Chains A and B, each alone.
Chain A
């Protein structure tokens, strides 16, 4: 499906001159992700901060916040002109919904990816609406065969429209479904294998789920294909009501940074990015968080 608002350059062959030190096991359908290092989620509120990061090569933008036509936000244009990879991150496709994904939403995601010349897109293994009602949040799908089939079908429908690979992100869930048939590792691995999708691993989600279930966070690293990680989210949260909430509006806790280091010791992902969605701290604190991710991963500082 084509649109009138074509970009002036496309993802193929880009970004030039980048090293490629850990290609996930893709065979065809797009360039293997390059190694980008430390990145950050671009948001309008911190656009000036993000565009001012001298070493930045990787950023992400909420796909639904970018219009399919008209001017791109200035900050995104500046990042693209500098050769920073900008990945559209969908939050409303509802890949885990029982019903087929909305074709208009898929088209929008594909169009935004083209406009940004993005090397890939990403979305969640989650559902956000059912029975015509919006949940307003990412909700977990049951870890059942029926749900795996539904996710796989929706990922394939989405891939059919995309020119670039899709990376799938497991979410932080405050509760599990009754009667789950698969553990998280088996559930994720089966979805990735059947769709040939990449993995967007949110280290803070891994931490949150493990804390709330009372399990060992690093144990999941042994159960999912780490070589399929396209990039990682690193975010903050806070504990209340006896539960750890993955808020994206608090500082990244030391435990999450330790988990980043543990992951990178086993297999360093091509990119790790700070995901902050509100209550933005002063620039100095954001810089310190980016530097902490760099230190934990062994990538150069981008500040």
Chain B
């Protein structure tokens, strides 16, 4: 039998990364837990990224779940940021969500791999037709998409 750590890792992979449910578990119940987890994360990301969630309206949970089902959480700030950037890169970010992403890009530096950090210097952010500028920590939306 494999170690406790290995068995825990296999369960986490099934719940967060789309890996198969480890043998012996009730497939249906683990599946329900997986979906409940996605729903909980959807709510947490919606709190960090209200503009993004609102832009999708009633489709938010489905949109989020399709993206997050194979991506373990990096925290709701980064999760929402990664999703918004990915959508923007393929011109699929709703214009109503552009100002929020543009403002974040202008205020924080995020390399996609580690925790975002506040920018010290003035910066501009653009997304889905929106433009935001930041100076001295204050952000202004110049144009909304």
Q: Enumerate chain A interface residues (CB-CB to B < 8 A).
A: 97-99, 127, 129-131, 133-137, 139, 141-142, 144, 146-147, 150, 174-179, 241, 243, 245, 249, 278
Q: Residue-by-residue, is B110-139 near A (CB-CB < 8 Å gives 1, otherwise 0)?
A: 000000000000000000000000000000
24 A-B residue pairs with Cβ-Cβ distance under 8 Å, sorted by A, are A98-B4, A98-B5, A130-B5, A130-B9, A131-B6, A133-B13, A135-B37, A135-B72, A136-B16, A136-B37, A136-B41, A137-B33, A139-B11, A139-B12, A144-B4, A146-B4, A147-B4, A150-B4, A178-B23, A178-B24, A179-B24, A241-B32, A241-B35, A245-B36
Taking CB as reference atom, which chain B residue is nearest A245?
A: B36
> Which one, B17, B25, B41, contacts A133 given CB within 8 A?
B17
CB distance from A265 to the nearest CB of B (A): 32
Chain B residues with Cβ under 8 A from A129's Cβ? 12
Chain B residues with Cβ under 8 A from A243's Cβ? 29, 32
Q: Residue-by-residue, is B11-28 near A (CB-CB < 8 Å gives 1, otherwise 0)?
A: 111011100000111100
Q: Which of B3-61 contact A (CB under 8 A)?
A: 3-9, 11-13, 15-17, 23-26, 29-30, 32-33, 35-37, 40-41, 43
Check B4–A135 contact: CB distance below 8 A. no
Supposing A130-B9, A131-B8, A136-B73 touch, asked if A175 and B41 sit within 8 A by C-beta, the answer is: no
Taking CB as reference atom, which chain A residue is nearest B15?
A: A135
Check B30–A175 contact: CB distance below 8 A. yes
Chain A residues with Cβ under 8 A from B26's Cβ? 175-176
Q: Residue-by-residue, is B62-87 near A (CB-CB < 8 Å gives 1, otherwise 0)?
A: 00000000001110000000000000
Distance in angstroms between the alpha carbons of A127 and B17 in the assembled complex: 17
CB distance from A66 to the nearest CB of B (A): 17
> Which one, A133, A174, A278, contacts B43 given CB within 8 A?
A278
DSSP majority for the B interface?
A: helix
Distance in angstroms between the alpha carbons of A4 and B2 in the assembled complex: 43
Check B73–A134 contact: CB distance below 8 A. yes
> Beyond the given A150-B4, A178-B24, could you list 16 further A-B residue pairs with CB under 8 A, ordered by the A residue number?
A97-B5, A98-B4, A98-B8, A131-B8, A133-B9, A133-B13, A133-B72, A136-B72, A137-B15, A137-B33, A137-B37, A147-B4, A174-B29, A174-B33, A241-B32, A243-B32
Chain A residues with Cβ under 8 A from B23's Cβ? 178
Q: Enumerate chain B interface residues (CB-CB to A < 8 A).
A: 3-9, 11-13, 15-17, 23-26, 29-30, 32-33, 35-37, 40-41, 43, 72-74
Chain A residues with Cβ under 8 A from B7's Cβ? 142
Supposing A175-B29, A179-B24 touch, asked if A134 and B3 sit within 8 A by C-beta, the answer is: no
Distance in angstroms between the alpha carbons of A245 and B41 in the assembled complex: 15
Supposing A98-B8, A142-B4 touch, asked if A131 and B29 sit within 8 A by C-beta, the answer is: no
Check A174–B4 contact: CB distance below 8 A. no
CB distance from A289 to the nearest CB of B (A): 20
Taking CB as reference atom, which chain A residue is nearest B29?
A: A175
Chain B residues with Cβ under 8 A from A133's Cβ? 9, 12-13, 16-17, 72
Chain A residues with Cβ under 8 A from B11's Cβ? 130, 139
CB distance from B27 to the nearest CB of A (A): 9
Chain B residues with Cβ under 8 A from A150's Cβ? 4
Taking CB as reference atom, which chain A residue is nearest B74?
A: A134
Distance in angstroms between the alpha carbons of A141 and B8 in the assembled complex: 8
Chain A residues with Cβ under 8 A from B73's Cβ? 134, 136
Check B36–A135 contact: CB distance below 8 A. no
Distance in angstroms between the alpha carbons of A245 and B38 in the assembled complex: 14
Chain A residues with Cβ under 8 A from B43's Cβ? 249, 278
CB distance from A31 to the nearest CB of B (A): 35
Check B13–A131 contact: CB distance below 8 A. yes
Distance in angstroms between the alpha carbons of A177 and B15 in the assembled complex: 14
Taking CB as reference atom, which chain B residue is nearest A176?
A: B26
Question: Which 8 pairs of residues, A with B, have the shortest CB-CB distance?
Answer: A178-B24, A131-B9, A98-B5, A130-B8, A175-B29, A98-B4, A136-B73, A130-B9
Distance in angstroms between the alpha carbons of A199 and B116 in the assembled complex: 37
